[in-house]
Chains A and B, each alone.
Chain A
């Protein structure tokens, strides 16, 4: 159904609430960029974690087309903030299309080269055949029930990213839970933000489970620009790590439904518990975006990171968006053998810290703890 996209327009009537969270001194300043799929998904669960964590200063939420079209995601994000009693968090609608990739080409590449095989993630987000179109905004189901009264900001996500990082040099962490279209645009427009960004954390790519994931192959050019930009610290959650924990593991969902407050309990009851009970063989999704949130909230949950180079294939063929990894210490590999020095990265490859070894017990505890904390302004 078509509705007016007016709900995304700027409202000057809206202003941040005066009783914003106190003592932000030790809080981590975060820009949260997300392809915010509703009603509940790895995207939404990560949003809930960051809203519930006490040590995060959420400067703004940026949306980007991938899992859904950006307008639909923005509608979900705005209403979720209302339900969570957090209307002061500004929402910026970001790129509605990837830099170059198009739905028609994504579809045609699958026809010509075959889809990515299972391990390589055939998922196309809103570029799937039944993925709708960019100006269609569907009504929001329970517990969202209706569109939000709060509005998205007039400023574009890329402009917000540039302005915020410049205003807080060396302090802002950039969370990219979707394709890096907004970040790539920000870097192209203002390369000066790169050295003054504290950290970028991104979910995408893989070494073993798959060689890519939708956040990369939905906008391969953007990923290449962002990886190569030279950020001081670029942390990566790969599909290999994300596959280690799924939502249905460890009876998390039941614990959340039993102990969480509105609207979190409703979301998990309707969109995790009920479908799982209806179909016990259902494969629940892995938790990549929640892991990124966990890294922002409590990095000690992870057993360190591998220092690596990464690059992205942008040939318009079956490998569009594949990631390639190399050890940062490639010059020391195979020393004393004829293979020494031959494992070099691509000339312009980016440097990333690939997270490894998640403490599953602590991750589960953190996740359930955050989901079951009181929601002070929460509305049914």
Chain B
């Protein structure tokens, strides 16, 4: 019997039925034969605002499911692009369709720490809207509330029989990192609410996490990005923590991929995947990319932010330049609530620039010698690894290879 919407909703409430999902540890650790030689197999907690039926969140999820060097210990969900319960409905059914029901899915934060839809709308009225990134995700005007779970679009066709875990996403994160010290990387593709709560509750996990990868912030495209401004307090908390390695994918780099001549408008890549991939990946691309483009030719597809972030764990060689920088997030609830600010790590030893022709001796001293200025970060800012350049061809090949690879076998 396929669960009805009402039945599915029932299981999403406080009394989530006991899990029937086998222990994730039972999963085979042998990479499948014929796989591309990538970085060594890594344990990953995958934290995502998994908005369905298609899109950057979902495609990144498919990459993590398909990559044979990723040992996915669990998917943790957070409200962001969609409400957490709706994301849960898509995540569970996606795992069923991918025949990967051994992967546990954990319900996480349904609301940001402080931000609210009503105050966001009031801020827009008071300070003006976000000209370049008006997306409000779960807080979009057309969206229902946290409990409104809509039926799933094709090819999902119905709600899953698979149940979410009873354990909260935050507790799962804390427990898993502690049980596998220095082994589990955290992928954070949405607002950082779950991660912030985990490190507030258990600060010891920061030092035990070998790498956390985060999507968000920006320099030039824009400085205020969704995952940060949806929950700025959580973002500040996470970016400031002394992780052994926090890698950030700024929007500037993500913007390059859908604008890149070789890929734009990505039709060729989409067609390739729709033609070569197995179900349900082929169906997803056929329905939500190929047919969408046929209906509206010339559509500009979304940048591949979360997919690139997945590449940092699957094949970090995609990225050709990164830099250690200080970062902080503005949490004053004004017009710049959620803005990212960066400072150079080497701000104390920047070389003096050549003086412009005709500069006076005073100008030469004041304007071109960095030692004349305070160029450093504010107290408590975080030091992070910022991805700055990517090998587009390598990323594209990785993406197509992973999408068209045979489905990863489920244990048992």
Residues of A that sit less than 8 Å from B by CB: 95-97, 99-100, 102, 104-105, 107-108, 156, 158-159, 181, 185, 188-192, 221, 224-225, 314-317, 347-348
Contact = CB atoms under 8 A, between A and B. Distances in A.
A97 B334 CA distance: 25
B13 to A, nearest CB: 9
Contacts of A225: 113-114
Given A97-B203, A107-B379, 18 more contacts: A99-B233, A99-B237, A100-B233, A100-B237, A102-B380, A105-B379, A156-B202, A159-B201, A185-B200, A188-B193, A189-B171, A189-B197, A191-B111, A314-B114, A314-B331, A316-B331, A317-B332, A348-B118
B119 interface: yes
Contact of B110 (A97, A185, A191, A347): A191
Q: Which of B110, B171, B193, B233 has the most CB of A within 10 A?
A: B233
Given A189-B197, A316-B331, A347-B122, A102 B114 contact: no
Nearest to B122: A347
B25 to A, nearest CB: 23
B332 A158 contact: no
Contact of B380 (A105, A156, A159, A181): A105
A169 B193 CA distance: 27
B27 interface: no
B116 interface: yes
Contacts of B233: 99-100, 221, 314
A221 B196 CA distance: 13
- Identify the 10 closest CB pairs spanning chains A and B, nearest first: A104-B379, A315-B332, A102-B380, A316-B332, A347-B118, A104-B380, A192-B14, A188-B197, A348-B116, A221-B233
Interface string B104-118: 000001110110101
A315 B116 contact: no
A127 to B, nearest CB: 12
Contacts of A189: 168, 170-171, 197, 201
Contacts of A97: 200, 203
Nearest to A221: B233
Nearest to A186: B201
A102 B237 CA distance: 11
Nearest to B193: A188
Q: Which of A100, A107, A108 has the most CB of B within 10 A?
A: A100
B206 to A, nearest CB: 12
A129 to B, nearest CB: 14
B110 A108 contact: no
A163 to B, nearest CB: 12
Contacts of B43: none
Nearest to A134: B203
A100 B236 contact: yes
Contacts of B332: 314-317
Given A96-B203, A100-B331, A156-B202, A221 B114 contact: yes
Interface in B181-199: 193, 197
Q: Which of B122, B201, B330, B331 has the most CB of A within 10 A?
A: B201
A188 B379 contact: no
Nearest to B109: A188
B333 interface: yes
